[in-house]
Structure 1
Amino acid sequence: MMLQFEFLLRLIIAGICGVLIGYERKSRMKEAGVRTHFVVAVGASLMMVVSKYGFDDILGKDGVGLDPSRIAAQVVSGVSFLGAGMIFLQRQTVKGLTTAAGVWTTAGIGLALGSGLYTIGVGVTLLILVGQKMLHRQFRWLSAPKSEQLILRIENEPDMMGAIQRTLLSRNISILNFHAEKMDKDESEIELSMLVKLPGSYPAAELLSLIQEIQGVKAVEMQ
């Protein structure tokens, strides 16, 4: 009975670690939040406990041979499918990769705690939290080009596209691809979808202000 209370303690610690990682994701308005990470961590920890200790009563019997790692291995595969459902393509931009990887790692933390590796499980939780906080800050040595998806409603004028391109190039912003089509009700306006590449040091928030200053731009939205 005391051993089962220890197993329950492992599940509780796994749940706490899952909540911490989930809160960090939820605070950034990501797809999977506190509840998802909590359930994944506790579930993975439970499966690990069952995988290691759930068959003790039949071990040693004639003709019985068990691999205690099989259930844990299936958790890794199963959570991979769960993570794949969080990845989606939005206007040629892939989103949800970090969240999917976070859920997969949370399952690993649950497995570690379920097997009794408290130091590793808690240590990886702290490592993930610190890493996410640090890597979301602006470090010049980590600056890299970023891409943003823009939806513009512009006047149907001959040089509008050229004016937009010149304005962007003046800030070293390049257009990766674009698609334009006339508005259904009003052919004097065009809806323009653009994927642009920003320099690593250029704040994405200033991009909207830059676009809005262009004469002939009626509305702009960042996806």
Structure 2
Amino acid sequence: MDAVDWGPVPLQITLVAAAFGLTALIGLERRLRRKSAGLRTHALVGTGSAVFTLVSAYGFAPLPGIDAGPDPSRVAAQVVTGIGFLGAGVIFTNRDVVHGLTTAASVWLSAAVGMACGAGLVPLAAAATALHLVSALLLTPLSRRLPRLLGPRALRLRYEDGRGVLRDVLEAVREMELTASVVSTRSTGSPEDPEVEVLLRLEGRTDLGTAAEQLSRVPGVRHVAQEHVDQDDAW
């Protein structure tokens, strides 16, 4: 085997450092929002993706018995698949609400930024990082305001506990061709007269006022009110 070719090493180190720096910015934004995958995770994902891309481009050509030129796409394709499994690890569901999707997407983006740096496309990687920050700083506040601009899309119900009222409520929601997810529940009332208060996020074509009127007629439901609910915090 030939001696190590030190010619491309400065460029390779520069590209890996660029991947580390750019993905650290993505991770810093996630860390400031106290998400499960933060600064170190994103920086490591980006750095590793850059290294894999560089290994695929430079690492196999000098090996004996390999006549064809290097094919970086072989390793790059596997990086994309592997990052999918890593991103799935930060997604979880609590009370029918999905959490972690935005963080999983940012991990996926970090891998793309790292691969772009490894391929020498640093301006593209920098642009992708900038767009992530634009999304975090501008689109997040906008998405939180949209529910208020479009009107309430949630109902807060209070009903008698222990009589299967929630089951009847969800059945009525289904008959109105709406989909419901439980945002929160809490016990209210007294030991002699227990109640449950539930916040339901509703999606569908039926008007929320009509849905509130119909659900107020379900036996055991004592109060129904429309309410705004922010969705972006769940992601």
TM-score by structure 1 length?
0.67
Distance 2:27 2:38 in 1: 5
User: Is the CA contact 1:14–1:41 (under 8 Å) kept in the aligned structure 2?
Assistant: yes
Q: What's the counterpart of residue 112 of structure 1? A: 116
1:93 and 2:97 are equivalent in the alignment? yes
User: Is the CA contact 1:14–1:109 (under 8 Å) kept in the aligned structure 2?
Assistant: yes
Deviates more, 1:116-125 or 1:73-82: 116-125
Distance 1:73 1:79 in 2: 10
> 1:118-133, aligned counterparts within 5 Å?
118-133=122-137
> 1:1-223, aligned counterparts within 5 Å?
1-58=6-63, 61=65, 67-138=71-142, 143=149, 176=180, 186=191, 188-196=193-201
What letter is aligned with 1:54?
G
Distance 2:117 2:52 in 1: 11
| Unpaired runs of at least 5, structure 2 | 1-5, 166-177, 204-222, 224-229
TM-score by structure 2 length?
0.63
Distance 2:114 2:41 in 1: 13
Q: What SS is found at the alignment partner of 1:194? A: strand
What letter is aligned with 1:91?
R
Distance 1:35 1:177 in 2: 33
What letter is aligned with 1:134?
L
Map Cα deviations across residues 36-74 of structure 1 (whole Å, 9 max, x no partner): 101000000000000111112137x47667533111110
Q: What's the counterpart of residue 209 of structure 1? A: none
Q: What SS is found at the alignment partner of 2:102? A: helix
Give RMSD over aligned pairs.
4.0
User: Is the CA contact 2:31–2:38 (under 8 Å) kept in the aligned structure 1?
Assistant: yes
User: Is the CA contact 1:149–1:196 (under 8 Å) kept in the aligned structure 2?
Assistant: yes
Identity of aligned residues (%): 35
Q: What SS is found at the alignment partner of 2:142? A: coil
Change in 2 beyond 3 A, CA 1:73/1:191: same
Distance 1:38 1:149 in 2: 41
